[in-house]
Amino acid sequence: MKRLILLRHTKSDWKRGAPDHERPLNHRGRKAAAAVGHYLAAEAPKPDLALVSDAARTRETWEKVNWQGVETSFRSELYLATERSILALIQAQDDALGSLLVLGHNPGIGNTAARLTNGFSRWSENDADSHTETIPNPYQTHILKPFPTGACVIIESFADTWALLEPENCRLVAYQVPRNLP
């Protein structure tokens, strides 16, 4: 089983006039990132690897999430990446990794979440391959529009390899946004 966490950076500061790549978080964004970090620490599997856009706001979000001991790779190709390129990056990961976190930007990160959770499956505990029932995804409208800053999804896949990760073998475990966190 593979576990994937997709996270959008939290609220950035537009007032400083910095170039887009260099925009830091604002006060609300720093507070939200810490709240998301507490939520993920309690609800998500600790990732074996975090792939983080190299933009200032994603780096700062990751710092405030404060997930200690997670190998982290800051990746320029995640800056404003498309759904297709994010999925390709995920599918290229080493199969020794059981869990992965990707922290990026919209629309790519939200579109990736929407694609992988477009209707999710519930598997039998006895046989994931032969007892699959597709049920409507109650989170789909939330994920598609707008996947706000700080939004995260936790996805499980019964794929044996990252290369085989597709909507057909993924299920949504959780969807959370900062405004719903203490």
| CATH code at position 89 | 3.40.50.1240
Residue 123: what pLDDT?
A: 38
Residue 49: what pLDDT?
A: 98
Residue 129: what pLDDT?
A: 41
Instruction: Compute mean pLDDT per 10 residues along the chain, 182 residues long, and list them.
Output: 97 88 96 98 96 98 96 97 96 98 95 78 37 43 68 94 94 91 92
Residue 17: what pLDDT?
A: 80
Closest CA to 95 of 4, 160, 166, 50: 160
Query: In angstroms, rounded to a whole number, what is the distance separating the alpha carbons of residues 48 and 169?
Result: 20
Query: In angstroms, rounded to a whole number, what is the distance separating the alpha carbons of residues 156 and 162?
Result: 11
Structurally, how many domains does the chain consist of?
1
Query: In angstroms, rounded to a whole number, what is the distance separating the alpha carbons of residues 104 and 53?
Result: 5
Residue 134: what pLDDT?
A: 42
Residue 39: what pLDDT?
A: 97
- Model's pTM, two decimal places? 0.87
Residue 67: what pLDDT?
A: 93
User: What is the span of the domain harbouring residue 10?
Assistant: 2-180
Query: In angstroms, rounded to a whole number, what is the distance separating the alpha carbons of residues 8 and 35?
Result: 13
Residue 145: what pLDDT?
A: 57
